[in-house]
Structure 1
Amino acid sequence: MYGKAIRIRGGRAFGVALAAAVVFGFGPAGPAHADTFIPLPGGSITRQLADGTNLTVTITGESAKISGSMGDTPAHRNVWTTAVASVDLDGPSASSATIKISPGYIVGCQVDISGGINNGVSGGVTNDPSKATQTNPFGGLSATQSLSEGISIGPGQAVARLMLDLEKPDDYGMESHKRYNKVPGPHASVSWTDETFAVDGCGGYAQARSFVAAEVDSTNFIGNLVLYGEPFSMG
Structure 2
Amino acid sequence: MTINRKNGARLAAVGAAAVATMGFFSVGAANADTFVPLPGGTATETLADGTVVTLHLTNESANVSASLGSTPLHRNVWVSGKASVNLQGNPAKTAYIYPGYILACQVDFGAGVAGNAGASVTPSQLASGTASIPASGGANGGITLGPGQAVDTAILDIEMPDAYGSEIHWGAHYFQGGAGSVGWSDVSLGVNGCAGYAQARSYVKVEVETENVKSTVTLWGQPFSIG
Q: Which moved more, 1:56-65 or 1:100-109?
A: 56-65
Residue of structure 1 in register with 2:49 after alignment: 51
Within 5 Å, give how 1:63-142 maps onto structure 2.
Answer: 63-91=61-89, 93-94=90-91, 96-110=92-106, 120=113, 121-122=119-120, 137-138=133-134
Does 2:187 correspond to 1:195?
A: yes
Question: 2:127, 2:72 → 1: CA distance?
Answer: 31
Does 2:32 correspond to 1:34?
A: yes
Does 2:210 correspond to 1:218?
A: yes
Question: 1:50, 1:28 → 2: CA distance?
Answer: 33
Q: Offset at 1:68?
A: 2.1
Does 2:221 correspond to 1:233?
A: no
Question: 1:138, 1:176 → 2: CA distance?
Answer: 17
Q: Which amino acid aligns with 2:120?
A: S
Gaps of 5+ in 1: 13-20
Does 2:194 correspond to 1:171?
A: no
* Pick aligned residue for 2:140 from 122, 144, 147: 147
Which is bigger in relative contact order (C-alpha 8 A, separation at least 6)?
A: 1
Question: 1:128, 1:78 → 2: CA distance?
Answer: 24
Q: Which amino acid aligns with 1:192?
A: W
Question: 1:197, 1:52 → 2: CA distance?
Answer: 38
Query: How many residues are treated as equivalent by the alignment?
Result: 209
Residue of structure 2 in register with 1:62 after alignment: 60
Question: 2:190, 2:56 → 1: CA distance?
Answer: 25
Contact 2:99 2:205 in 1 (8 A): yes
Seen in structure 2, the aligned counterparts of structure 1 residues 65 and 126 have a Cα distance that, compared at 3 Å, is closer
Seen in structure 2, the aligned counterparts of structure 1 residues 71 and 221 have a Cα distance that, compared at 3 Å, is closer
Question: Alignment partner of 2:54: what SS?
Answer: strand
Q: Which amino acid aligns with 2:43?
A: I
Contact 1:61 1:84 in 2 (8 A): yes
Q: Offset at 1:190?
A: 1.0
Residue of structure 2 in register with 1:185 after alignment: 177
Residue of structure 1 in register with 2:116 after alignment: none
Structure with higher strand content: 2
Question: 2:29, 2:168 → 1: CA distance?
Answer: 40
Q: Offset at 1:72?
A: 2.7
Question: 2:189, 2:133 → 1: CA distance?
Answer: 22
Q: Offset at 1:25?
A: 2.9
Contact 1:106 1:209 in 2 (8 A): yes
Question: Alignment partner of 1:161: what SS?
Answer: strand
State, as a whole percentage, how many aligned pairs show the same letter. 45
Gaps of 5+ in 2: 12-18, 114-118
Contact 1:57 1:227 in 2 (8 A): yes
Question: 1:123, 1:154 → 2: CA distance?
Answer: 14
Q: Offset at 1:6?
A: 5.5
Seen in structure 2, the aligned counterparts of structure 1 residues 228 and 8 have a Cα distance that, compared at 3 Å, is farther
Does 2:154 correspond to 1:158?
A: no
Seen in structure 2, the aligned counterparts of structure 1 residues 137 and 58 have a Cα distance that, compared at 3 Å, is same
Kindly report the root-mean-square deviation, in angstroms, between the aligned alpha carbons of the 2 structures: 3.1
Scaled by the length of structure 1, the TM-score of the pair is 0.77
For residues 169-204 of structure 1, what are the alpha-carbon distances to aligned partners after superposition, in whole Å with 9 as ceiling and x for unaligned?
222323222221111121111111111111111121
